[in-house]
Structure 1
């Protein structure tokens, strides 16, 4: 790598350009860090810039707009370079302005030509002279929130209608905070106390999860560097994402269906509670063959391959494949808009539209309808999503129960008794509740 290509700011521009062309931010960052020899400090700066620019892109572009006459004529990477400069100026207090300007101009010169260097220099110095607009001064309340928090107006309108203005503002404030680094301990392999001691010995700061009984929140260095991760005794998983499997009433000898399993985090969590000796098994489905491969990899790494069977099929067509088979419990961790993940995958907020939410809700209900007769009488279907919109959560639950009088709503119970005072059977976790991902869990018991 050339000097500039090993520069965290230049690498951030590369990563952001790839994300704009469809790459996932978290995967792109992991790959670039693994493929480079940059220091942990520089990797941290690159990660901060990449997530920061994506999180605040609408705000930053609003502030850049007066200084660029025709943004469409500006190459993507040049526009992104300017966004990284504005992000650092606005949000990274410890970075001197002179360093930001010098580095950005040097990247423009090295990656582009003299004309690009002059253009970037001119924009930065004009912004410094004139000053930039503060979106907090916008009169219209929805537009102001949209540009202050960098969230599309349609999503703010939906959340405000469903949750009220105060809760919406609380969620918007929380989603641009850095995501916690959380892990789940495979407690069938080692105890929480032993895992904590081993992690602390490696130099991690370890805090108990407020959300999930098998969870820890780590800081200090990347979790995938831990010896326990490499040995398959812990896995990286958001605290909220641990709850669907935690809430299931799993016995060691059960036959369980994970209808939408990839990449397999919940599959291996379920499998850890089963016993191969007692013929316990989880059948893991996904519509895509390459994603089924990820589930297999996850099961091997977490030492539960002997309890996991995978198959690449559309869960809506389960009757065609499993004609006579029924299951003790079924998990439908349904494909969804992912709005609950915006802290961890900030680009989601720009990619989804209200029409996507509506079409996904239909798919979710179709999957539930398809698997309904595959659960045994007295068995339970657990339905979960990583979104916070009613269309994909409450409305799907209501529609399913209306169509299936042979099912009853079941109260979702978690080990830490989360939201014990709620009046609903289903459990809703919002991003501002515990600083974890937004999640929804509902359960239905087949009574006849």
Structure 2
């Protein structure tokens, strides 16, 4: 059973439950085990499915075991994975799920655990799962149904209304799309599409960014184009901040919070070293900048990328005032817009985290504002969809910095601002991409 996808899923889920990141843990398991593409897809589906639906699965299991938290971690994850398959994967018969789960219990535990697992799953099959609709509290019902913390739901309802909130909640448990950006320095969209199709990928144009393509059937990282630096993997919404910047080849640009460097590379592709173009990539930790350097080299733009381990809030002594033509602050945030791709966020973050991050975001804006040339543009972006970290931060900054004015952000984009707003907001249900906020401020 060493390469059994369900067994590996249970082991992976146990490590994630202990604090490991789902995407990193999955990649490690896939790289260290010899599985077919079909088994990799099944294991990935089970792992992400259980993480995405954890509150729902906890609710279901409580009907059969009052305190699932007293179970060994692997036993609890085994039961969650079995219930997930029964409820959400309609192509797998219950008898196959039951047999595989009992075999895993035999492999990892003793006879008593095997009997308990067998009894619980027989009861699930015979009695059926409890109804979520019977929960009387509406917020709790939505929390259990969509497996999202109640505070997030309350914030979304307050800021966006019930209909939009439910639309977002329904979208975040759908599979993530795989989007790539082509390197306009060395290729073009037409050639990339032709090459990817010849490699066996399905390809379609993005509705979010002109420089993006949506690919499926296998990992884009396995493409020869990726190895050659002709494409990189980047969510289509994450391309919007740089898409909006109207970069000149001679610009001197600051990417204040750069790692892992997707936007830094996107900026660098539009710069010309001979004309003096360069981008400074800051990050708190030198080891995180290693990834930025690796990506810059793979994408053939390392000549114009200058990395520096520095907290952007401490920029004052490093550069003279009015040094940069343009500044990008892709600010550290709660990541609520990434819930589909990073499902742990929905359980880990608290409202206090949002409030703390909003203060950091404002501090970064305050610190770098003086380094922008007059007439220069500062682009602020986050991958969250909460006002506290987006429009509220911008409003607070503008109230303290009369030398800045708000620009319309969508002039260079293929999507539009919403409801006469000047900033761009993308919600997870708009295009089934990551949620993002992008805002442009000009120094008068």
The superposition leaves residues 268-298 of structure 1 with CA deviations (integer Å, 9 ceiling, x where unpaired) of: 0000000112121000000012111111111
The superposition leaves residues 64-101 of structure 1 with CA deviations (integer Å, 9 ceiling, x where unpaired) of: 01211332321111100110000000000000101101
Match of 2:361 in 1: 364
Q: CA deviation at 1:104?
A: 0.7
- Where do residues 271-420 of structure 1 align in structure 2 (5 Å cutoff)? 271-323=268-320, 326-413=323-410, 415-419=412-416
The superposition leaves residues 295-345 of structure 1 with CA deviations (integer Å, 9 ceiling, x where unpaired) of: 111111111111101011111001122245610000000000000001111
Report if the CA contact (8 A) 2:329-2:380 is conserved.
yes
Counterpart Cα distance in 1 of 2:216 and 2:295 = 23
CA shift in 2, pair 1:196/1:244, >3 Å = same
Report if the CA contact (8 A) 2:410-2:423 is conserved.
no
Counterpart Cα distance in 2 of 1:33 and 1:65 = 32
Name whichever of 177-186 and 131-140 sits farther off: 131-140
| SS class of match (2:370) | helix
Q: CA deviation at 1:433?
A: 0.6
Counterpart Cα distance in 2 of 1:416 and 1:245 = 10
| SS class of match (2:421) | coil
Match of 2:62 in 1: 65
Question: Which of 104, 108, 114 is 2:105 aligned to?
Answer: 108
Report if the CA contact (8 A) 2:244-2:413 is conserved.
no
Match of 2:7 in 1: 10
Report if the CA contact (8 A) 2:254-2:280 is conserved.
yes
Name whichever of 135-144 and 198-207 sits farther off: 135-144
Match of 1:82 in 2: 79
Question: Which of 225, 229, 233 is 1:232 aligned to?
Answer: 229
Counterpart Cα distance in 2 of 1:23 and 1:299 = 28
Counterpart Cα distance in 2 of 1:238 and 1:22 = 25
Report if the CA contact (8 A) 2:379-2:438 is conserved.
yes
Name whichever of 65-74 and 354-363 sits farther off: 65-74
Report if the CA contact (8 A) 1:246-1:414 is conserved.
no
CA shift in 2, pair 1:324/1:374, >3 Å = closer
CA RMSD after TM alignment:
1.2
Name whichever of 429-438 and 20-29 sits farther off: 20-29
Match of 2:255 in 1: 258
Report if the CA contact (8 A) 1:180-1:436 is conserved.
yes
The yes-or-no answer on 1:179 pairing with 2:176 is: yes
Counterpart Cα distance in 2 of 1:177 and 1:163 = 21
Match of 1:208 in 2: 205
Q: TM-score, normalized by length of structure 1?
A: 0.97
Counterpart Cα distance in 2 of 1:412 and 1:166 = 26
Report if the CA contact (8 A) 1:213-1:415 is conserved.
no
Counterpart Cα distance in 1 of 2:225 and 2:266 = 16
CA shift in 2, pair 1:198/1:415, >3 Å = farther
Q: CA deviation at 1:206?
A: 0.4
Match of 2:439 in 1: 442
Report if the CA contact (8 A) 1:243-1:414 is conserved.
no
Q: In the comparison of the two structures, how many residue pairs are matched?
A: 444
- Where do residues 16-55 of structure 1 align in structure 2 (5 Å cutoff)? 16-55=13-52
Question: Which of 133, 136, 141 is 2:133 aligned to?
Answer: 136
The superposition leaves residues 245-269 of structure 1 with CA deviations (integer Å, 9 ceiling, x where unpaired) of: 1100200011100000000000000
Q: CA deviation at 1:415?
A: 4.2
Q: CA deviation at 1:37?
A: 1.2
Which consecutive residues of structure 1, in runs of 5 or more, have no partner in the other structure? Answer: none
Q: CA deviation at 1:5?
A: 2.7
Report if the CA contact (8 A) 1:281-1:308 is conserved.
yes
Structure 1 residue runs of 4 or more that deviate by more than 3 Å after TM superposition: 414-417
CA shift in 2, pair 1:422/1:215, >3 Å = same
Question: Which of 154, 163, 168 is 1:166 aligned to?
Answer: 163
Match of 1:197 in 2: 194
Name whichever of 203-212 and 32-41 sits farther off: 32-41
Q: CA deviation at 1:390?
A: 0.3
Q: TM-score, normalized by length of structure 2?
A: 0.98
The superposition leaves residues 198-222 of structure 1 with CA deviations (integer Å, 9 ceiling, x where unpaired) of: 0011111100000001000001111
Counterpart Cα distance in 2 of 1:32 and 1:223 = 18
Q: CA deviation at 1:20?
A: 1.6
Name whichever of 162-171 and 68-77 sits farther off: 68-77
Q: CA deviation at 1:138?
A: 1.7
| SS class of match (1:151) | coil
Counterpart Cα distance in 1 of 2:364 and 2:15 = 33
